[in-house]
Amino acid sequence: MHSALRPKPSAKIPPSLIPPTVTHIKKPSISQNGHHEKAIVNVKQHHEKAITNGKQSHSKVTLNENGHNHEHTKSNNLISEKCTWSLGLINSKGKYLTAETFGCKINATGTCLKKKQTWTIIYNIPNDCVYLQSSLNHYLSTDKYGRLKCDGHDMVDDCRFQLEYNQNGQWGFKSLTYGMYLGGDVDQLHCFSKTPEWWSPHLALYPQINLKHALRKRYAKLNDDEIHIDDIIPWGSEAILTVEYFDGQYCIRSCNGYYFHKDGKLITKKTHDTLFTIELFKGYLTFKDCNHCYLTAIGPLGIMTTRNKIAGKDEQFLLEESKQQICLIAPNGKHVSIKQGVDLSANQCEKDNSSIFQLEYDEHLELYHIRTYNNKYWKLEGHGVQATADKRSIETGFYIQSTGNGHVTFQASNGKYIIPHATGHMRAIGEQLNSMESYFLLKFINRPFCVFKCDFGYVGYRNKQSRILECNKSMFTLFTLEEPIGEINNDGVVYLKGSDGMYWEILSDLSISVSGREPTKFILELCPAYSRIVIKASNGMYLHAEQNGIIQASCEQSRHAIQWEF
């Protein structure tokens, strides 16, 4: 979710990387199974678009999907490094700070974290202060009388606040210019309190993340019954962590569903010792346990635990977007991999790191870049596809289109579709979209537990007594994703299961309930854009959702189905 993340790699492409003879990628308007596609991708237009966006980034802070950015930004004729975090702020009455769309008015009336309650905390390291930016990209400011406004686009002196913390992990915002504190309730907000009024931070991020230690520049991963911070690249399901919010505090869960204990252990249930509060130190995130000790990494293995009562460089973390990682099964039934070198080939029977690939959507080029476990990108080399690129470019961009039942095609920058040669090597020579030899079965690797979110909110139970799912919840529910065991899965079938062992199933009114004693088949299909998916149910229909929360397996065509962050 619009999370606390590092920035996406820039899509600005130097002219030298654009081959003079690159053909346009032609995309059909509507595919045979109903996916909506764009008409034509023009390489030159994308290049100009990327350059334009690159220039604009100097005057406007643009957040990635999950809300964290770390960049140099020009403001007041100074170049300053800024860290940004997307979150909600809850006052002592349990209400969220809200920026209304009409009249740029602000109040504290929100009952849950939605778009209007989401604020971007922009940390200015040289001045050790923060700015509060609303979802409308306006900055919160105060005057000498404590009157608040949120209608300006510039970070002026009256927008600067210093952060203070109390023993409960709550935050206070003190005007750097006037020395007064942000406070108030309902529509009577002000900044003239002489003592702190406390706010609880609720991170507005998609909860499945990769945790990076800022000093070690290594990622956390599950290792037996501990979490080690020693991964150079977060790879596979072991690198997935889930951050859960509970009444102003947070739990960290490993990919096997266990809770992280402050002493470094993993336990099955949430306890007082698995709860942490968060603070910002020099723009980075810190986690503090119930004994006021900060999370850190110890020893050469980087064993994650809490130790010091004072935050320093060893206690700084980044929460990064956990991108989708996949494996691909070619028409010959073999896994696509780079096990034999830089060439992509479909000749492996077993899955390992060399056959896992990371999808990185480029919203400027409107294409996917595909990363390998050794930190290289797929790249078109002549008619072949090799894992040789260190950076993104036009040649590393691939248009991925779902063809139904978990299968996809890959279209390279020469306009051709990838087809395995008789030797297994990947070649971009296919002319026709509907050629079966260009269909690859796609399986998601790093989502053993999954969270579903759409534009209306998270998927969760209708209420405590109901087993029916709705899609407009402010708090997420974690589901287990299973594959069929002991049978050939040629259609990408998965089972979705609740924490009590009951499965998703379709009721007579086509709604979805977590009440099945036996698994029901669902298929997850990748969307052509933004790394989202659509879900196909066992009745052949796709899941459709409404703003009032109703989810039904009632949509005949995937282009009309609800798209899920996943």
- Model pLDDT, residue 349: 87
Residue whose pair of structure tokens reads 């608040």 in the numeric block: 148
- Model pLDDT, residue 486: 67
Beta bridge partners of residue 156, listed in sequence order: none
User: Has residue 32 got a pLDDT over 50?
Assistant: no
The CATH number of the structural domain formed by 208-254+285-321 is 2.80.10.50
Write 388-394 long-range contacts (CB < 8 A, 24+).
388/342, 391/9, 392/9, 392/11, 392/13, 392/360, 392/362, 393/13, 393/17, 393/18, 394/13, 394/17, 394/18, 394/19, 394/22, 394/43, 394/46, 394/47, 394/365
Q: Would you say 528 and 37 are in contact if contact means Cβ atoms under 8 Å apart?
A: yes
- Model pLDDT, residue 67: 41
User: Has residue 33 got a pLDDT over 90?
Assistant: no
Q: How confident is the model at residue 488 (pLDDT cuts 50, 70, 90)?
A: low
Report the alpha-carbon distance of residue 359 to residue 337 in Å, rounded.
15
Q: Would you say 296 and 303 are in contact if contact means Cβ atoms under 8 Å apart?
A: no
In this predicted model, what pLDDT tens digit does every residue of 135-175 receive, in sequence order?
999 999 999 999 999 999 999 999 999 999 999 999 999 99
Domains 84-203 and 449-565 share a fold: yes
Tokens coding 19: 């081959």
Nearest residue to 429 via CA among 440, 416, 420 = 416
Residue-averaged pLDDT of the chain? 86
Dihedral (CA of 115, 117, 121, 122) sign: positive
- Model pLDDT, residue 395: 95
Q: How confident is the model at residue 487 (pLDDT cuts 50, 70, 90)?
A: low
C-alpha angle 457/528/66, rounded to 5°?
Answer: 40
Report the alpha-carbon distance of residue 526 to residue 385 in Å, rounded.
21
Nearest residue to 300 via CA among 357, 193, 415, 223 = 223
- Model pLDDT, residue 436: 84
Residue 509 or residue 102, greater confidence? 509
In this predicted model, what pLDDT tens digit does every residue of 327-369 receive, in sequence order?
999 999 999 999 988 999 998 888 899 999 999 999 999 999 9
For the entire predicted model, the pTM comes to: 0.84
User: Has residue 418 got a pLDDT over 80?
Assistant: yes
User: Has residue 263 got a pLDDT over 50?
Assistant: yes
Domain boundaries, the chain: 84-203, 208-254+285-321, 325-444, 449-565
In this predicted model, what pLDDT tens digit does every residue of 183-213 receive, in sequence order?
999 999 999 999 999 999 999 999 999 999 9
Q: Which fold has domain 84-203?
A: Trefoil (Acidic Fibroblast Growth Factor, subunit A) (2.80.10)
CATH architecture type of domain 449-565: Trefoil (2.80)
Q: Which fold has domain 325-444?
A: Trefoil (Acidic Fibroblast Growth Factor, subunit A) (2.80.10)
Tokens coding 329: 């099964």
- Model pLDDT, residue 71: 43
Average pLDDT over residues 118-145: 94
Phi and psi for 160 in degrees, rounded to 5?
-85, 130
Q: How confident is the model at residue 29 (pLDDT cuts 50, 70, 90)?
A: very low
Residue 58 or residue 130, greater confidence? 130
Q: How confident is the model at residue 178 (pLDDT cuts 50, 70, 90)?
A: very high
In this predicted model, what pLDDT tens digit does every residue of 362-390 receive, in sequence order?
999 999 999 999 999 999 999 999 999 99
